Homo-oligomer: A and B are copies of this chain.
Amino acid sequence: MSSDGETSTTVSKGRLEAFSDGVFAIAITLLVLTIAQPSNYSKLTRQLLERWPSLAAYVVSFLVLGIMWLNHHTIFAHVQRVDHGFFYRNLLLLMTVAFIPYPTEVFGEALRTGAGERTAAVFYSIVMTINGLAWSALWLHASTGRRLLNDELPEEQRRSSTVLFVAGSGVYLVSIGIAFINPYVCLAFHGALALYYAFDPISRRLEHNRSA
């Protein structure tokens, strides 16, 4: 195997990384299409102000996707090579990532029109939960028995990262519950989660260790 992890029989890590980056960049930029254009320009000021929930959903999903990209980057930095199992789990992850603009639009529109808000919040939270499960599946495949990891990640942190990844899916389950109570709180909760992950499980711990 060559140093960049590419052979003719396995997937090239570099090219898979670039492909994944492309999907993240496109999905995050397509989010702008989720904000409905004004339908009546003679009441433009009012119509733009009424679209604040769509704007809020845009901001939250943009943060979520941006931080997911960073997380993806961190996982790849700890992975020495990729195999077919990793490729398919990554493909499933990308499938949920590329899907996010859809529930984002539904959520924003539901809050704006004042109908179906609860359903929209539950739908958004379910998509995020499935996304969280895909992250866990990717990480567990790569890290179990250090199958694909390189030497940079200490064993102790591998375990704590696993706990945090699995716990993440659990927190998303909580967001489904919140969605039933109050859709606005649910949106804020997802924004807060994104900010929490801003200090992402793996790299936060590593940086702490290094500076210790």
Tell which of B29, B42, B206 touches A27, judged by Cβ atoms closer than 8 Å.
B29
**Number of chain A residues whose Cβ lies closer than 8 Å to a Cβ of chain B:** 72
Contacts of A8 in B (CB 8 A): 74, 77-78, 152-153, 203, 206
B28, B41, B109: which contacts A23 (Cβ < 8 A)? B28
Asked whether any CB of chain B lies closer than 8 Å to the CB of A172, the reply is: no
Answer whether residue A102 sits at the interface, using C-beta atoms and an 8 A cutoff.
yes
Q: Decide: A41 and B95 in contact? CB cutoff 8 A.
A: no
Judge if A24 is at the interface, Cβ distance under 8 Å.
yes
- In the complex, are the beta carbons of A105 and B37 less than 8 A apart? yes
Residues in B neighbouring A43, C-beta threshold 8 A: 116
Interface mask (A42-78 → B, CB under 8 Å = 1, otherwise 0): 1111001000000000110011001101100110011
User: Which residues from B are CB-within-8-Å of A24?
Assistant: 19
Does A162 lie at the interface of the complex (its beta carbon under 8 Å from any beta carbon of B)?
no
Could you tell me if B106 and A37 are in contact, using CB atoms closer than 8 angstroms?
Answer: yes
Considering residues A24, A25, A28, which has the most beta carbons from chain B within 10 angstroms of its beta carbon? A25
Q: Which residues of B contact A115 (CB under 8 A)?
A: 41-42, 44
Residues 82-125 of A, flagged 1 when their CB comes within 8 A of B and 0 if not, give: 00100110010011001101100110011001011001100100
